[in-house]
């Protein structure tokens, strides 16, 4: 089976960088894959597209060297299986609040007898290789999103679930659940303390910790905190920030126009 390069880097304790696809553009997802990112995640939860676009977006990522992953809308084994069939090499699942949900996520990513995934690899077989079915269970990454006070209360049980690759923090939803305003940087002390606990618990259990970041500055700080997988913004947020920077630079440096006719 085609190697999961992100998995290898994580096993080597490397800090990895993940891209985030939120618009329906296979070309853009391909560009991201060639941008030095270790993985690129197709976001079905908040991305501006439906499941029908996911195959093309995963194909775009797969055209380059980055590992293709997907965030599902919710914990649903049929949908998770279909994303894996479409070629995702990792699943990020939102709102994992209990150990039972974490176990269900792992089971959805594995074939029987270790899981409940239905056979039908489709593009997974095409992209992964002829031995996909026998090697997929040990190749696919499963990430449980921690984004609530309930998840924090059950954290030690969640990170101990056999087969779970890591946890992935949704800091904005976590902030809301903790009674804080989302989107702040620096993070409120209560959120930062929660992140410290998540990293410590994950590493103590032998799994990895990932997180969504506001930008490169916050990603660097969170890498120093110990997070293994950093997502420094979405495709749209990065594009908008780059455009705004260029517009500001041009306007700041452009000579002031005097009077005249106006055309």
Identify whether 203 is a catalytic site residue.
no
The tens-digit pLDDT sequence of the chain (263 residues) is: 999 999 999 999 999 999 999 999 999 999 999 999 999 999 999 999 999 999 999 999 999 999 999 999 999 999 999 999 999 999 999 999 999 999 999 999 999 999 999 999 899 999 999 999 999 999 999 999 999 999 999 999 999 999 999 999 999 999 999 999 999 999 999 999 999 999 999 999 999 999 999 999 999 999 999 999 999 999 999 999 999 999 999 999 888 765 544 44
Instruction: Please identify which of the residues 46, 50, 190, 247 carries the catalytic annotation.
Output: 46
The Cα 6–Cα 12 span in angstroms is: 10
CA atoms within 13 A on the CB side of 229: 35
Contact 59, 33 (CB under 8 A): no
Tell me if 129 is assigned to some domain: yes
And the tokens for 252? Answer: 């700041």
State whether residue 207 is helix, strand or coil: coil
User: Tokens 């999103």 label which residue?
Assistant: 145
The Cα 105–Cα 36 span in angstroms is: 29
The Cα 165–Cα 64 span in angstroms is: 23
Contact 158, 151 (CB under 8 A): yes
Contact 167, 145 (CB under 8 A): yes
Provide the number of structural domains found in the chain. Answer: 1
Tell me if 140 is assigned to some domain: yes
Q: What is the pLDDT of residue 257?
A: 65
Tell me if 205 is assigned to some domain: yes
Q: What is the pLDDT of residue 253?
A: 87
The Cα 49–Cα 47 span in angstroms is: 6
Tell me if 254 is assigned to some domain: no
Tell me if 253 is assigned to some domain: no
State whether residue 189 is helix, strand or coil: helix
The Cα 209–Cα 205 span in angstroms is: 11
Tell me if 263 is assigned to some domain: no
Could you list the residue range(s) of the whole structural domain that residue 51 is in? 5-248
Tell me if 256 is assigned to some domain: no
And the tokens for 3? Answer: 């190697």
Tell me if 50 is assigned to some domain: yes
The Cα 158–Cα 152 span in angstroms is: 9
Among 137, 136, 138, 156, which Cα is nearest to 146's? Answer: 156
CATH (domain of 153): 3.20.20.60
The Cα 211–Cα 208 span in angstroms is: 10
Contact 77, 85 (CB under 8 A): no
């Amino acid at each position: 089976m085609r190697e999961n390069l992100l998995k290898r880097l994580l096993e080597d304790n490397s800090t990895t960088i993940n891209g985030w696809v939120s618009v329906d553009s296979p070309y853009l997802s391909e560009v991201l894959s060639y941008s030095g990112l270790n993985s690129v995640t197709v976001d079905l939860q908040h991305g501006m597209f439906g499941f029908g676009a996911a195959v093309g977006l995963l194909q775009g990522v797969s055209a380059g060297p980055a590992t293709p992953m997907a965030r599902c809308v919710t914990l649903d084994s049929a949908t998770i299986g279909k994303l894996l069939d479409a070629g995702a090499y990792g699943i990020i699942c939102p709102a994992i609040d209990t150990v039972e949900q974490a176990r269900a996520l792992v089971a959805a990513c594995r074939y029987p007898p270790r899981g409940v995934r239905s056979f039908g690899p489709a593009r997974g077989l095409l992209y992964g290789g002829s031995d996909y079915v026998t090697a997929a269970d040990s190749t696919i990454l499963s990430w449980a999103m921690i984004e609530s006070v309930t998840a924090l209360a059950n954290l030690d049980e969640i990170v101990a679930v056999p087969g779970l690759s890591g946890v992935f923090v949704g800091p904005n939803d976590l902030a809301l659940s903790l009674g804080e305003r989302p989107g702040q940087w620096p993070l409120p002390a209560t959120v930062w303390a929660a992140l410290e606990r998540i990293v410590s618990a994950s590493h103590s259990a032998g799994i990895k910790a990932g997180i969504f970041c506001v930008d490169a500055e916050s990603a660097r700080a969170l890498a120093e905190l110990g997070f293994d997988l950093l997502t420094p913004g979405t495709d749209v947020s990065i594009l908008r920030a780059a455009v705004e920077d260029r517009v500001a630079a041009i306007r700041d440096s452009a000579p002031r126009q005097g009077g005249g006719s106006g055309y």
